[in-house]
Structure 1
Amino acid sequence: MLGSKLDDYLRFNESALSLRSQRQNVLASNIANADTPNYKARDIDFSSALQSALDKANPNQPQTLTTTAKKHYPNPLQDAGTLADGTPLLYRGVIQGAVDGNTVDMDVERNQFADNAIRYEAGITAINNQIKSMMAAIQSGS
């Protein structure tokens, strides 16, 4: 029972941090492929992905099976258009096309990468503050 309440207390920030980490990998991949012909820049819709992650973590929602070995099929099946947790990868809109078909705009990618990193750090700070407030409550109660 206590574990469930603790999970509920930390769930939002935990889900947000996990998603921010995955998004950072997607943005880094865009930057790494800036010179790859026909590479299409990808991103995720963070707010809808976070809502989906929170819905999946809700104990009142039906749960899907978790794979336990590399040979198991993921549930749902994954393809190049989804992250490991089922979050859909979207194509970033083309601002200025390139002759080689690459849609990575380095200014946009660097800005998104920096913004996501700052928000990740803010999430770490929020979790640290939650833990500090729990510790203070425990210590004042004894």
Structure 2
Amino acid sequence: MAINFENALGIHQHTLGVRSRRTEILASNIANADTPGYKARDLDFKTALQNAKSHAGVSLNRTNENHKFGQSYSMEQAGESYRVANQPDTGDGNNVDVEVERNLFMKNSMEYQASLDFLNSKISSLRKAIKGQ
């Protein structure tokens, strides 16, 4: 009997990718905290997860079947948007609040770890089932 990993692993296989992308965005915000004109971005988790589950996006053309499959997303399709600033502009056009970004980064890291732990548990259960334990 074949194992359907989509059913076995559930939504957590997709959440890892979305959480990983959000980590990149938040890290970019922190790194650009002193860059004039930089606008903080964030990810709408619900939209990004729906797109990850449905594989929505713009498919790239392949001229040979040996080429890798690729997809491209606009910021809107990926669930990314610019964050509304919760502090006044400092005069250089940058709206990054480092404390907010660090808190969001830490929260996202914990949620990523929770999804990873859940996936590890699911995979461990599948291994036991395969071995007959």
What secondary structure is seen at the aligned counterpart in 1 of 2:132? helix
Q: Which residue of 1 aligns with 2:80?
A: 89
Amino acid at match of 2:84: G
Partner of 1:45: 44
More strand by share: 2
Alpha-carbon distance in 1 for matches of 2:33, 2:58: 36
Query: Matched residues in 1 for 2:12 and 2:60: separation?
Result: 22
For the aligned residue pairs, the C-alpha RMSD in angstroms reads 2.8
2:120 aligned partner: 128
Instruction: Specify whether residues 88 and 48 from structure 1 end up closer, same or farther in structure 2 by C-alpha distance, changes over 3 A only.
Output: closer
Q: Which runs of structure 1 show a deviation greater than 3 angstroms over 4 or more consecutive aligned residues? A: 63-69
TM-score (norm 1): 0.76
SS state at 2:114 partner: helix
Q: Does structure 1 residue 2 correspond to structure 2 residue 6?
A: no
From 88, 91, 98, the equivalent of 1:106 is: 98
Local SS of the residue matching 2:115:
helix
Asked whether the equivalents of residues 11 and 54 of structure 1 are also in contact (C-alpha less than 8 Å), the reply is: no
Does structure 2 conserve the Cα–Cα contact (< 8 Å) formed by 1:39 and 1:103? Answer: yes
Q: What SS is found at the alignment partner of 2:24?
A: helix
Shift of 1:68: 5.3
CA offset at residue 8 of structure 1? 2.9
Contact kept? 2:47, 2:79, Cα under 8 Å: no
Residue-by-residue CA offset, 1:93-125 (whole Å, 9 max, x unaligned): 111122111010111100010011111111110
- CA distance in 2: counterparts of 1:94 and 1:53, whole angstroms: 27
**Structure 1 Cα separation of the partners of residues 28 and 8 of structure 2:** 33
- Relative to 1, partners in 2 of residues 1:29 and 1:2: Cα closer, same or farther, differing over 3 Å? same
Q: Which amino acid aligns with 2:110?
A: I
Residues 47-101 of structure 1 deviation map (CA, whole Å, 9 limit, x = unaligned): 22112222338xxxxx9745558xxxx756x55x35xxx4032011111122111
**TM-score for both structures, normalised by structure 2:** 0.80
Q: What residue number does 1:13 align with?
A: 12
User: Would the alpha carbon gap of residues 64 and 106 (structure 1) be closer, same or farther in structure 2, given more than 3 Å must change?
Assistant: closer
Q: Is 1:28 aligned with 2:27?
A: yes
Query: Contact (CA 8 Å) 1:49, 1:87: kept in 2 or not?
Result: yes
Is the alpha carbon distance of 1:105 and 1:56 closer, same or farther for their aligned partners in structure 2, counting shifts above 3 Å? same
